[in-house]
Structure 1
Amino acid sequence: MALVYLKNKKNGITYVYESENYWDKAKQQSRSRRVCIGKLDPHTGELLPSKRLAEPEPARKPGPVPATETKRLYAGATYLLDAIGDKLGITADLKQCFPECDKQLLSIAFYLILEDHNPLMRFSKWALTHCHPYGKEIPSQRSSDFFASITEEARERFFRLQSRRRAEQEYWAYDTTTLSSYSESLKQVKYGKNKEHDLLPQLNLALLFGEQSNLPFYYRKLPGNITDVQTMKKLLADLDFFTYKKIKLVMDRGFYSEANVNAMYQHHLKFLIGVRVTLKYVQQELEAAKPQLHKWETFHPDHNLHAYSTTITWQYEQSRPYKKDVVKEERRAYLHLYFNKEKEADEANKLNRLLTKLKQELESGKRDPAHEKMYAKYFEVKATPKRGVSIKPKQEAIDAAASNNGYFALLSNEIKDPIQALSTYRNKDVIEKAFGNLKDRLNFRRMEVSSERSLDGKLFVEFVALIYLSYIKKVMQEKQLFQRYTLQGLLDELDVIECYERPGCEVQFGEITKRQMELYEALEVPPPTSL
């Protein structure tokens, strides 16, 4: 049964219908039945259920719900996650998007967070000893069915709700990573350029991350043979679909192309992107700016580098197929140039080692097919019957490559100050840490699923768990808790707190130490007294 959205042209209200297709034997054609289940809130996009379908909640006395059986469970860490979920709106958004299975989803996410590297087959054992939202075990054979039940529509609603809780003024870091797989049945698992040099086929994952909030709010999976630069067109289409406003993107130079920059101008986005210094227009500006980049007055001790900015004119082009023409305009952009002496030395050593390796391969006759372009670029190789192989370096090419050592560049259509641009760009390392959490902490480096729908569902649960982990790590860094705890150590410190359930009585927590109280307060969560 699918959902259909229809907008009333008179009052502007979008109504939501449940649509079911059936075969009409009398008319010998396919028909559909539609039942209105509510309407969309014009401001938040949330579904407002129809009053005739809303079931009245049974009246109950305010306060904690009495237990129905005797239990002693670990609850300190799950209490923390419950409080974070309420604070970030995760619990409310999941309940709205997954009304029938939100508690199961949260319980699996809590397990992935608290049980580092443990497979889901151990969830049942963990559930017997811990207080968690679902309150019951989920057998491993049922977890695959549960993942497959998570629909694309519900996921997109969750993305939309979470995005509205992020700061509109912050930049959104966008990047991709690779997830390897042994499965031969997943359609998007392909061989491609693996960022971790894994020889297995892979799936690519794209993630959007708020730089100030340090929280992810959108992801999508891609075929493993898709390059970074090819993903931009689909990202912009998704941003239009979710009706995000005041979008600001920060990306590394793997996403740079003239077409992508033109597309961001066309969609009226603010951006900050890394660019290669070998590009023609960058080289022209760099040659003119090099004297400034070696002066003391452009040195910034906090970042240990020289920085210089210049305003450039971007030659904007937009193809219009419906009019069969190309719009050409000039747009303002800011090119930020940097020089770092230590980076210059490191890159010089790297170039020297590369040239030595290439020469050894040529001399030994063991040429690497992947290095053929570099052989031709840096060496002149001649073979004669008498003298054998003669290898002569192309010094002009080597000098040209060395002339760029220590320099790098950023391009923006909003940020004018080079240090502000650098700080914003470097803050995007939160997305690299997020990828590390997803692969290592949440045990998703190798995908252990065999069906597309199970993969989609499991990836979404991992994403929800990633939001919690990102928040905890952010607060730990702000409160300097990493000086005393690892992430796992902090969770373990709270996980030993027990709660007691007795029939007819309120659930009570056990003793809480001073150190545990301080941790709750540092994480901005009120310490538990009773549930």
Structure 2
Amino acid sequence: MVAIVYQKDKRSGITYAYHSISFWDKEKKQSRARRTLIGRVDNITGEIVPTDGRNRKKAEEKPPINRGRPAINSVKRTFFGATYLLDAIGEKLGITQDLKQCFPDTYKQILSLAYYLILEDSTPMYRFEKWGILHKHPYGDNITSQRSSELFASITEEDKQRFFTLQGKRRVEQEFWAYDTTTLSSYSETLRQVQYGHNKEHDQLPQLKLALVFGQDSNLPFYYRKLAGNIPDSKTIHRLLEELEILGYSKVKLVMDRGFYSEYNINCLYQNHVKFLVSAKMSLNFIRNELDEIYESFRSFENYNDNYEFYCRTVRSSWNYTQKRPYKGDNLKESRRIYIHYYYNIDQAADDEKDFDRKLISLKQELESGERVLQHEKLYQQFITWKTTPKRGTQVMVKEESVIEVKRYFGFFALITNETMNAVTALELYRNKDVVEKAFGNLKERLNMRRTLVSSEQSLDGKLFVQFVALIYLSYIKKQMQEKDLVKRFSIPGLLDKLDVIECFEQPGKALQVGEMVEKLEQLYYDLGVTPPTSL
């Protein structure tokens, strides 16, 4: 008996159709069925679309598929407002031109997939077909899951580096570049760089890391790379500087958090003539020693900043620079100029002291009850003395000198730099570094990067690149929204949805016609730095 059986793939959401032939198995003495795949079921028409495994001979007789935008041979009405915005941004930022130069055969597919990621907000790739039918986009044709995987695998490292170079040349050379990393958890066990390490989101999954460089004035990313998930931030600077030099960036200024601080990294930055602004731990000896010299006069009226409500002061100091010189067989030792910007927040100091006292109480109770915590052994030794006797039990005393020494630096934080600037300017530059953190949020949430599901290195590299292209568009939109104060009225998805209702009408031999548009929508385009669409 022959029947057609339908089965839905829970992961992809695709429904497949099979020929099912029933027969009697004499050995097992039971009814069995033999299935043969026919094809996938079209979600819109309900028709069964043959797969590559069926009617191959017939498929080979078909004319080759045109990978460019097909000529208009039928009447079409599609959504146009949001994709038009992305078209205009791509031209303005040179994204389209740079992609075309680096990927002449596939740049339209890359753009269409990037548009889809931006406008559909975390929707899986296999849903592109439905979106592509309803929207006007650069490629103008469907991109199947298989085709998108092939596209990702075709994106080479050489082409990516060319794109980074072209985009980097469009950025302001004198601006500081924010550099940071994030972790991307993965379900895949086959990717070589997926490793267990310090996960910034406290996932229990293995991970890989993504490092991103952002222009602080332009608020646009222009470079990224992935690295193994168990590599600490402090180990990434030397490689970053090498790659930036290869890309031709001679004038580099980096802003980084304290996770990137190490003596080796600071020496590397000096050696490569890189301007830097880095957060430094208050526990470092040279940071504390310089602060001790000005500690008593630090909280004076002259050092108070009313706008930020903290005290600040800058100290010029010396960095003990060292450089190994294998070609001479020695170590170069010199003194280099460095500036330390100190900040003191009295409210933060009070909060830190309360939290610390609560911690001391907790440590004291652990010892008195006999329920010691292995991870707290160093804290017991540093801040507490205790004695246990059969008659009086455990008596616990706090080491007052150790406590006073720690509390002395509560409320303080420090930034170090090799460029002349005042403390307030340095802080503003450092705080602008959160453009990277926000970009990571966009990558993980809007661009469906919270968990990576790809199983091959090539697919991962290609997908990351397409998502990076999408991130450039999102970063531009976000900056314009902030400058025009649109963030109070719209989220990014909300604004794009407003524009996405605008339609266009196409028919053979006729110019493209744009649907009606109210003045408020026209103003949104102007606010985003784009001229509103008009009929051609």
TM-score (ref. length: structure 2) = 0.85
Closer, same or farther in 2 for the Cα pair 1:364/1:462, shift >3 Å? Answer: farther
Counterpart for residue 435 of structure 1: 440
Closer, same or farther in 2 for the Cα pair 1:303/1:119, shift >3 Å? Answer: same
Q: CA deviation at 1:483?
A: 1.5
Q: CA deviation at 1:174?
A: 0.6
Q: Does 1:341 align with 2:364?
A: no
Aligned partner letter, 1:203: L
Q: In terms of mean alpha carbon deviation, does 348-357 or 186-195 score higher?
A: 348-357
Counterpart for residue 277 of structure 1: 282
Q: Does 1:105 align with 2:110?
A: yes
Closer, same or farther in 2 for the Cα pair 1:191/1:367, shift >3 Å? Answer: farther
Q: CA deviation at 1:139?
A: 1.2
2:520 aligned to 492, 500, 515, which one?
A: 515
Q: Does 1:524 align with 2:529?
A: yes
Q: Does 1:178 align with 2:183?
A: yes
Counterpart for residue 194 of structure 2: 189
Q: In structure 2, what is the Cα distance between the partners aligned to 1:386 and 1:228? A: 52
2:431 aligned to 405, 426, 432, which one?
A: 426
Q: CA deviation at 1:250?
A: 0.7
Counterpart for residue 212 of structure 2: 207
Q: In structure 2, what is the Cα distance between the partners aligned to 1:427 and 1:88? A: 21
Matched residues, number: 468
CA contact (8 A) 1:317 1:326 kept: yes
Closer, same or farther in 2 for the Cα pair 1:98/1:366, shift >3 Å? Answer: farther
Counterpart for residue 174 of structure 2: 169
Q: CA deviation at 1:519?
A: 0.1
Q: In structure 2, what is the Cα distance between the partners aligned to 1:280 and 1:491? A: 51
Percent identity reads 57
1:359 aligned to 345, 361, 364, which one?
A: 364
Q: CA deviation at 1:307?
A: 0.9
Which string of whole-angstrom CA distances, capped at 9 and with x for unpartnered residues, describes residues 168-217 of structure 1?
Answer: 11000011111111111111111111111111111111110000000000
Counterpart for residue 126 of structure 2: 121
CA contact (8 A) 1:66 1:507 kept: no
Q: In structure 2, what is the Cα distance between the partners aligned to 1:93 and 1:365? A: 66
Counterpart for residue 411 of structure 2: 406
Q: In structure 1, what is the Cα distance between the partners aligned to 2:407 and 2:250? A: 43
Aligned partner letter, 2:430: Y
Which string of whole-angstrom CA distances, capped at 9 and with x for unpartnered residues, describes residues 147-181 of structure 1?
Answer: 11111111111111111111011000011111111
Counterpart for residue 144 of structure 2: 139
Taking only aligned residues, the RMSD between alpha carbons, in angstroms, comes to 1.7
Aligned partner letter, 1:280: N
3-state secondary structure, aligned to 1:80: helix
Aligned partner letter, 1:82: D
Q: CA deviation at 1:354?
A: 2.7
Counterpart for residue 329 of structure 1: 334
Q: CA deviation at 1:503?
A: 1.3
TM-score (ref. length: structure 1) = 0.85
Closer, same or farther in 2 for the Cα pair 1:364/1:456, shift >3 Å? Answer: farther
3-state secondary structure, aligned to 2:222: strand
3-state secondary structure, aligned to 1:225: coil
3-state secondary structure, aligned to 2:105: coil
Q: CA deviation at 1:240?
A: 1.5
Q: In structure 1, what is the Cα distance between the partners aligned to 2:472 and 2:223? A: 10
Q: Does 1:465 align with 2:452?
A: no
Q: CA deviation at 1:383?
A: 4.3
Q: In structure 2, what is the Cα distance between the partners aligned to 1:385 and 1:195? A: 46
Q: Is there any run of 5+ residues in structure 2 with no aligned partner, and where?
A: 1-69
Which string of whole-angstrom CA distances, capped at 9 and with x for unpartnered residues, describes residues 243-295 of structure 1?
Answer: 20211111111111111111111001111111112211111111122233211
Q: CA deviation at 1:141?
A: 2.6
Q: CA deviation at 1:518?
A: 0.5
Q: In terms of mean alpha carbon deviation, does 414-423 or 359-368 score higher?
A: 359-368
CA contact (8 A) 1:181 1:201 kept: yes
Q: In terms of mean alpha carbon deviation, does 139-148 or 249-258 score higher?
A: 139-148
Which string of whole-angstrom CA distances, capped at 9 and with x for unpartnered residues, describes residues 511-530 of structure 1?
Answer: 01111001001111000003
Counterpart for residue 88 of structure 1: 93
